[in-house]
């Protein structure tokens, strides 16, 4: 099968101004899609549109400033993108924050914990809810959520982030069943280990991963998986949380 057959044409990406979201936007644009990106930061959006995405300023790339935790803003953004893109057949929920990194349980604030859940979990719900009327009109619609291996494994100091990504694992399953049964919409997630993004560098306090003693995903690695999951070549894949962790989670603790 030609991987370009039945490829998505009208894509909305939350968190599309940096990191995985930006790489995903570029990947879809390279395939000829029309793309709308949502960013909560006007500065990041402007930097992306006039930087890496400037080569696509041919009417196929659009940006809207909105906080995914703000339901009214998300509802308006999807209505506007439906007009700008002439429909929506693919949604990629990539927006996310890390929260208080390195803090022990007793040092994590309720306010920060809640903010992580608002962005990482409620933000996905808002994207799905307000994209649904437009996705339901399409024959081969799909949603891909950017999760994390932190939904399956954990380390100290990432409490809220781990909780949010664990929630996305089950949210993916629940949405995949309900939306496929009702509308034929597939829902999957990609769950990478460390990805070389500004957020990961900031969270781990490093300037680069060049000397990392562990394998690191590139944003384009994840974008390629998202592109595959969004196309008809993956039409039988639904409800999957696909780990992109170099096989780490498959290892046994048995000392062999």
List Cα–Cα distances, 13 to 22, 28, 39, 109, in angstroms. Answer: 9, 10, 9, 30
List the structure tokens of 56. Answer: 């696509």
Task: Point out the catalytic residue in the list 14, 161, 223, 225.
Answer: 161
For residue 121, the 8-state DSSP code is I
Q: Does 161 participate in catalysis according to the annotation? A: yes
SS3 state of residue 37: strand
SS3 state of residue 154: coil
- Bridge partners of 142, per DSSP, are 90, 186
Angstrom distance (rounded) from CA 26 to CA 23: 5
Burial class (CB in 10 A: 0-12, 13-18, 19+), 65: middle
Positions marked catalytic: 161
């Amino acid at each position: 099968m030609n991987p370009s057959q039945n490829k998505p044409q009208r894509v909305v990406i939350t968190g599309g101004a940096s990191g995985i979201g930006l790489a995903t936007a570029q990947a879809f644009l390279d395939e000829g899609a029309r793309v709308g990106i949502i960013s909560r930061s006007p500065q990041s959006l402007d930097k992306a549109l006039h930087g890496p995405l400037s080569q696509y300023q041919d009417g196929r790339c659009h940006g809207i400033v909105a906080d995914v935790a703000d339901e009214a803003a998300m509802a308006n953004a999807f209505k506007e993108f439906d007009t700008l893109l002439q429909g929506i057949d693919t949604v990629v929920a990539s927006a996310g924050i890390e929260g208080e990194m390195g803090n022990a349980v007793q040092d994590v604030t309720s306010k920060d914990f809640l903010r992580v859940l608002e962005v990482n979990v409620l933000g996905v719900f808002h994207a799905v809810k307000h994209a649904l009327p437009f996705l339901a009109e399409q024959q081969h619609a799909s949603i891909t959520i950017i999760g994390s291996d932190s939904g399956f494994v954990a380390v100290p100091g990432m409490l809220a982030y781990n909780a949010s990504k664990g929630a996305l694992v089950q949210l993916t399953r629940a949405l995949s069943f309900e939306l496929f049964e009702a509308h034929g919409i597939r829902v999957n997630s990609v769950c990478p280990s460390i990805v070389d993004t500004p957020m990961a560098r900031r969270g781990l306090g490093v300037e680069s991963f060049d000397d990392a003693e562990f394998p690191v995903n590139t944003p384009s690695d994840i974008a390629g998986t998202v592109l595959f999951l969004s196309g008809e070549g993956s039409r039988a894949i639904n409800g999957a949380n696909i780990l992109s962790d170099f096989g780490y989670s498959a290892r046994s603790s048995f000392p062999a």
